Amino acid sequence: MTSVKEQLKSLPYKSGVYLFKSKSGEVIYVGKAKSLRKRVTSYFSKTPGIKTAVLLSRLDSIDYILAGSELAALLLENELIKKYKPRYNISLRDDKSYPYLKLTVNEKWPRLFVVRKKQSDGALYFGRYQGGMVREIVRLVKKLFPIRWCKESPLRLREQPCLYYRIGACAGPCLGGIKHDDYLALVQGIAALLRGKMSQALNKLNQEMAKASQARDYEKAAAWRDSAKLLVKMIEGRELRLEPAPRVLSEISDLQKELKLDNPPMRIEAFDISNIGGTNVVGAMVTFFGGVPLKSDYRRFKIKNLAQKANDVAAIYEVVKRRYAGTLAQKMPRPNLIVVDGGLAQVNAGWRGIAEAGIGKVPIIGLAKKEEEIYFPNRIMPLRLAPGSRALQLLQRVRNEVHRLAIIYHRERRTKSLFAS
């Protein structure tokens, strides 16, 4: 087994969360770091205190999860501590009580602030949070959602705006600067964010961006766009799962080399079609980020334009174009690689769907099941990778997952149609 010293050398100089594990595989400590290599190495570069020495005496292996930002690492650390309840996170903490975040949905114009105790007052409470984490989360919310930050309750109308309004951190409900329904949509976005439902929070930001654009308030639309971009970075960092990170990263690196891609395929989206005799034709899309499933970005499609005829090529064209030309194009970031289940005909159909969607150049390939051949648009000869290739193994995991999702959705649709007849 790889020694701890060897594992230290494989840690990246990137932000993320590290997990110390005992010989039995138990997670005994969770921590966050701006630079994983520097932070974890620091445990071994100085004489530890007695509690840290006890922790290190039980350390057998180190795992880590990359995060898109320091704030993403902050939120992920809190989730993992609550999930694993590591014994040394408990014993090494101080005696201060950990605070909650209170979202006053019981008020007409809700606020978010820090409290020490929960009450039965109709508000929403989130937490508890570790140390200074709560202040970091509030800073994040202020960057993303411009609700009011004043303390008065109930809110009174004003003639002069406050500092928060002037710096763009408040939409100005006291000035009539935002409709009540739109304000409550922001509050719903905050609640989704604090519950860990990042995609729902992102959807709220995109809705506000669309409203501002339709109203030709392009300055406000740009502000919403910037908030959405920040949250996308967090989503893509947070959604990584506990996998042997060096192996996954090497798969991604190998796939980039084999396909001669300009950028590492960190975000892969894959499509498949399922039907029997042209009935209940459905499509499915899965997303992998960092080599592992990002299930919040899975999607299912009812095929609309086949008139109950079996035509996988036309169906691939339809779902790919719908993904990149419709509302999903605004809700989700572009992938680094698109994979369709099938050969040359399917990949050409997907390529045509991308072109008509107008999203620019995105690499697309087809993976044919029979010989596991990789097809490129308008290229007759496929690429064949060695059966043990790590790049091929990653593609097979992606393809098998989208195939599984498509079959499940088809069975659901078929069962409904049988009972409906």
Can you name the residues that pair with 384 across neighbouring β-strands? 373
pLDDT digits (tens, 9 = 90+) for 287-318: 987 777 877 789 999 887 765 566 889 999 99
Intervals of the chain under pLDDT 50: 1, 91-95, 236-246
Q: What is the 3-state secondary structure (H, E, C) of 127-180?
A: ECCCCCHHHHHHHHHHHHCCCCCCCCCCCCCCCCCCHHHHCCCCCCHHHCCCCH
Pick from 283, 184, 249: nearest CA to 192:
184
Can you name the residues that pair with 100 across neighbouring β-strands? 115, 127
Contact 293, 241 (CB under 8 A): yes
Q: How far apart are CA 370 and CA 352, in angstroms?
A: 24
**CATH architecture, domain 245-420:** 2-Layer Sandwich (3.30)
Cis (ω within 30 of 0) for the bond into 146? no
Distant-in-sequence, close-in-space partners of 151: CB < 8 Å, separation ≥ 6 = 111, 113
Q: How far apart are CA 415 and CA 419, in angstroms?
A: 6
Half-sphere exposure of 74 (CA within 13 A, CB side): 18
pTM, two decimal places: 0.47
Structural domain boundaries of the chain? Answer: 4-91, 100-238, 245-420
Contact 340, 366 (CB under 8 A): yes
CA angle, 170 then 172 then 176, to 5°: 160
Q: How far apart are CA 210 and CA 302, in angstroms?
A: 25
Quote the pLDDT of residue 375: 97
Q: How far apart are CA 146 and CA 142, in angstroms?
A: 6
Quote the pLDDT of residue 95: 39
Rounded to 10°, the helix 198-214/180-194 angle is 150
Contact 222, 244 (CB under 8 A): no
Quote the pLDDT of residue 90: 64
Buried b (16+ CB within 10 A) or exposed e, 112-122: beeeeeeeeee
Q: How far apart are CA 195 and CA 185, in angstroms?
A: 15
Topology adopted by domain 4-91: GIY-YIG endonuclease (3.40.1440)
Quote the pLDDT of residue 92: 44
Question: Mind giving me the DSSP string for 22-40?
Answer: -TT--EEEEEEESSHHHHH
What percent of the chain clears pLDDT 90, i.e. is strictly above it? Answer: 32
Quote the pLDDT of residue 420: 56
Q: How many CB atoms lie within 10 A of CB 338?
A: 26
pLDDT digits (tens, 9 = 90+) for 55-93: 888 888 898 888 766 667 777 787 788 778 888 876 444
